[in-house]
Amino acid sequence: MVQYSPRLGDAFAAVADPTRRGILERLGRRDASITDLATTFDMTLTGMKKHVRILEDAGLVVTEKLGRVRTCTLGPRRLDDLAAWIAKYQEMQNARFNRLADFLERTKGESS
């Protein structure tokens, strides 16, 4: 539904997703393995790996493989309030536009 330009391969795009914001919040409390995160967010390992890779590419998360376990910790690039706000704004705006599309469809042919 939402298409990102290649330029969005950064922290904004990474935090535009509610699950990824949840992952950052979770890692802010304590490091976790991919398996832990998958369990917490009720996701497949493959799905969680994808989210973690996006966060890792954005510098928000660092992962390290110890034996058979890959541990995730918060990366050097911390998410500041401004970035969080922008992500939240984007999410709200997207929801608004969905509602507006529905509204315009519903009122098609009406004088207003």
Partner 1 sequence: MTTTVTTPTDREIRIQRIFDAPRDRVWRAFTDPALVAQWWGRGNTLVIERMDVKRGGHWRFVEHAPDGVHGFEGRFREVTPPERLAQTFEWDGMPGYVAAETVTFEDLGDGRTRVTTTTLFHTSEERDGMLSAGMEGGVNESYAALDRLLAGLA
**Chain residues in the site for partner 1 (CB under 8 A):** 1-5, 7-8, 10, 12, 16, 81-82, 85-86, 89-90, 92-97, 99-105, 107-108, 112
CA distances from 93 to 1, 24, 28, 88, 98 (A): 14, 22, 27, 9, 9
Cβ atoms within 10 A of the Cβ of 75, count? 18
CB of 12 to partner 1, least distance (A): 6
Cβ atoms within 10 A of the Cβ of 42, count? 8
CB of 69 to partner 1, least distance (A): 35
CB of 22 to partner 1, least distance (A): 15
